[in-house]
Structure 1
Amino acid sequence: MTVGAETQITDLTIEDHACLTYGEPEELLDLTAAFVRDGLAAGQQVVWLAEEPQRRLAELGRRGIVAREAAAAGRMIIMTCQEGLLEGQAFAVDRAMHWFRDRLARSAGEGYPALRVALDMSWALQPVSGIEQLPAFEEEMAATLAGTNAAVLCQYDRARFDPVTLASISGYHTRSVAAATYHHDPLLRICRQYAPPGIRLAGHLDRSAESALGLALSEAIRLEGDISVNMAELSFIDLYCARMIIDAARSLSSTRKAVLHCGPSISSRFLLLGASDVPGTRLVITDG
């Protein structure tokens, strides 16, 4: 059975003040890409406050999101937190909320039906004054969103933020979001990938995880369109599990494709088993 998040990223709606807790950079980028994709598809304006905006644009593009085109048209804005929430190395609730309310008004004035905002909260891990106001900020954001045409996704790294901080802000969010997970232990994580649709594998994968891998693949196959198997963070896969993935790709109809992303050491297993000869299957070797 799937061990899912309280809410799937694709379920978020207007007025949601959601808290995304992630454990890996790929998880953050995948779930944010889905949040952005769905907003753009609905004609909404999307804003993402994050570190290294140009790199984030490239990452969205790698996931099939037309982010650069949307940014050029003003439909998407990516900026640093210093440009929005902070003033230098200082944080104040009043200033941050003034920025958000101004952005909300400008979006409505430009004719957008709604606004989606993703906030990478990693800035709160830096030496910033006023950080003690973080719970007050989340409380004020929750109150401000009521009755608006906006949704906000606050992004917290659960490995870097301490449990006390996460507990202090969790009650101000209407929804808790994480990737639907099929298997998670210190050695292996198998979870759903949202953009592009498929599954994501990280760690050490062998036959002991056969059941979880089988469930993840079967659910991915039931989705429409092509599927992606993201193994960029996989350090080991045995031949049995590699065959399972190839068999899943082989089972797709002729109108669908399977794209297998992996590093050189993992790709050698798939090449040995003839994955490149399976119709509709593409092996993409990532840097590693």
Structure 2
Amino acid sequence: MRRSGFVDAVGGLGRHDHVCWAFETPGEFRASAGRFLADGLAAGLRVLYLAEAARQTDLDHVGGFAAARATGAAQVQDLGIYDTGLQLDPAAQVRAYAQATEQALAAGYRGLRVAAEATPLVRTPAQLDAFTRYEHLVDRYMTAHPFSAMCGYHCGELSAAAIAELAGMHPVASRASAPLRLFASAEPGVGAALAGEIDVSGHALLRTALHRADPAPDGDELVIDARELAFIDHRGLFQLVEHARGRGARTVLHVARDSMVRLLADTLRLPDVRLVES
């Protein structure tokens, strides 16, 4: 089962997990990336470290990393493999990681794990838009394949709003990085999972996340797993409903038995919203 929620450390994440790590200094990111990748090596995964101006020895302080580099189990690449002046092609990048994952499996590893300091790839509005779309697409891929990733973003170089947009596309994120998260679900027929809190300050973020992720209906129903949604106000619920209506679907929300979403939906009596306790 994939992890979801806010974390203070990246240890213990599994083969399908996807974490956004907002950091203050490059040294902090290297330390966290080292822990994340060391766990991957211990789990039998091939691991890859990506950062701007990365040196092959950057993570050799991590026990076993230098030896793993010698065998090809660990790799270090400069972020210069991307043209950081251009915006990413989201689908093409997912295909590239899918191919790398298949190559890792063919070589006898249990999957692929990547830690990437991706700040240089999201510095312009166009880059941010493309990369957040990619984050959701690759998150969908991770639900069914042994690919896990840690995506690092520098708080000193990006605005809090930009980091919230990025963190909001991950099931796991560093604490206080985003008020809400819209991410892929591994459950058949579920368009996306929605977690966190949505009040007046989160309406714009929810609208942007829905536009970029564009969760698809299953037949004539758009199913959203809202079991980890702690709060949503009426306007936030209307946004979900309007998105589904725009896709020609009714809204189905999976909620916990004691969810406040049930009370809100019952109060509003929206005709094309159905709640499922799960």
One fold, TM greater than 0.5? yes
Structure 1: distance between partners of 2:125 and 2:93: 14
Structure 1: distance between partners of 2:129 and 2:169: 15
Structure 1: distance between partners of 2:66 and 2:144: 31
Name the SS for the 1:156 alignment partner: strand
Please tell me whether the aligned partners of residues 54 and 79 of structure 2 are also in contact (alpha carbons under 8 angstroms).
Answer: no
- Give the drift of 1:66: 3.0
User: Residue deviations 1:258-279, cap 9 Å, x none?
Assistant: xxxxxxxxxxxxxxxxxxxxxx
Does 2:57 correspond to 1:58? yes
CA-atom RMSD in angstroms: 2.3
Amino acid at match of 2:109: Y
Structure 2: distance between partners of 1:16 and 1:32: 14
2:90 aligned partner: 93
Amino acid at match of 1:58: T
Report how many residues are paired. Answer: 170
Structure 2: distance between partners of 1:171 and 1:162: 14
When the two structures are superposed, what TM-score results if normalisation uses the length of structure 2?
A: 0.55
1:165 aligned partner: 162
Larger radius of gyration: 1
Name the SS for the 1:60 alignment partner: coil
- Give the drift of 1:128: 9.6
Structure 2: distance between partners of 1:68 and 1:88: 31
Does 2:134 correspond to 1:137? yes
Q: Give 5+ residue unaligned stretches, structure 2.
A: 1-5, 176-278
Please tell me whether the aligned partners of residues 45 and 75 of structure 1 are also in contact (alpha carbons under 8 angstroms).
Answer: yes
User: Residue deviations 1:112-153, cap 9 Å, x none?
Assistant: 012111111122255796443121011111111112112110
Structure 1: distance between partners of 2:85 and 2:115: 20
Q: Give 5+ residue unaligned stretches, structure 1.
A: 179-288
Structure 1: distance between partners of 2:11 and 2:125: 33
Structure 1: distance between partners of 2:16 and 2:144: 7
* Correspondence list, 1:1-288, <5 A: 6-54=7-55, 57-61=56-60, 63-83=61-81, 85-86=82-83, 89-125=86-122, 130-177=127-174
- Give the drift of 1:75: 0.2
- Percent identity, aligned pairs only? 20
Amino acid at match of 1:173: H
Please tell me whether the aligned partners of residues 33 and 65 of structure 1 are also in contact (alpha carbons under 8 angstroms).
Answer: no
Please tell me whether the aligned partners of residues 36 and 46 of structure 1 are also in contact (alpha carbons under 8 angstroms).
Answer: yes
1:226 aligned partner: none
Structure 1: distance between partners of 2:119 and 2:168: 19
- Give the drift of 1:111: 1.2
- Of the two structures, which has the highest relative contact order with CA contacts closer than 8 Å and spacing of 6 or more? 1
- Give the drift of 1:97: 1.4
